[in-house]
């Protein structure tokens, strides 16, 4: 587990403990087959490049929020309350470098929106790289 912070545009910060998924087999498994997830935990998918991403909830028993993230750590999009065991594809609306899965309603509860920042060593951009 590693610490990851989300900083909203208003400056509020929340720390999560995340598992890292950075191999194709870890990406495929994700949080499948788990029946619980602590509200302060999650899984960070690190893909290594930016391109459109797709998730589904097959064999996932926990409702999730999926945050799609660019290489600088900016949240591009949030798929709120992904339905457990759904085969519907959840597709990023822009090329994503990473995705963060947390329990459903986390984004709404904490006021997290697109444009907010993920603070973690995987995201290494300086201010000139940032789009906002």
Does the residue 68 lie in any domain? Answer: yes
Number of domains in the chain: 1
Does the residue 127 lie in any domain? Answer: no
pLDDT value at 132 more than 50? no
Q: Which residue has the tokens 């947390």?
A: 102
Does the residue 130 lie in any domain? Answer: no
% residues pLDDT > 70 (the chain): 95
Amino acid 125: pLDDT: 83
Does the residue 131 lie in any domain? Answer: no
What global pTM score does this model have?
0.94
Does the residue 23 lie in any domain? Answer: yes
Among 22, 19, 113, which residue's Cα sits nearest to residue 74?
Answer: 113
Range of the domain at 75: 2-119
CATH of residue 76's domain is: 2.60.120.1140
Structure tokens at 3: 């610490």
């Amino acid at each position: 587990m590693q610490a990851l912070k989300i900083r909203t545009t208003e400056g509020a910060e929340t720390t999560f403990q995340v598992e890292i998924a950075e191999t194709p087999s870890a990406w495929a498994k994700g949080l499948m087959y788990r029946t619980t997830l602590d509200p302060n935990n999650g899984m960070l998918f690190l893909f290594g490049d930016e391109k459109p991403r797709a998730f589904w909830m097959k064999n996932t028993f926990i409702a999730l929020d999926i945050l799609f993230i660019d290489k600088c750590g900016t949240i591009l999009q949030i798929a709120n309350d992904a339905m457990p065991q759904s085969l519907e594809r959840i597709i990023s609306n822009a090329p994503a470098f990473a995705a963060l899965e947390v329990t459903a309603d986390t984004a709404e509860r904490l006021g997290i929106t697109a444009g907010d920042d993920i603070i973690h060593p995987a995201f290494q951009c300086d201010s000139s790289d940032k789009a906002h």
